Amino acid sequence: MAVSLVVTILGVYGSFKEVDSDKIKMLETFGATKYQILEKVIIPASIPTIINALKINVGLSWVGVIVGEFLVSRAGIGHLIVYGSQIFQLDLVMTSVIILAVLAGLMYQGVAYIEKKLLNWRQ
Supply the pTM of this predicted model. 0.69
Report the C-alpha gap between 56 and 52 in whole angstroms: 6
Report the C-alpha gap between 55 and 78 in whole angstroms: 22
How does DSSP classify residue 88? T
Report the C-alpha gap between 122 and 44 in whole angstroms: 6
Check residue 26 and give its pLDDT: 92
Check residue 6 and give its pLDDT: 84
**Contact criterion met (CB below 8 Å) for 53 and 12:** yes
For every one of its 123 residues, what pLDDT tens digit does the chain have, with 9 covering 90 and above? 676 788 888 888 999 999 888 999 999 999 999 999 998 899 888 888 888 888 888 878 877 778 777 777 777 778 788 888 888 888 888 888 898 889 888 988 988 888 888 777 655
| Residue of 69, 72, 60 whose CA lies nearest to 104 | 60
pLDDT tens profile 78-89: 878 888 888 888
Check residue 122 and give its pLDDT: 59
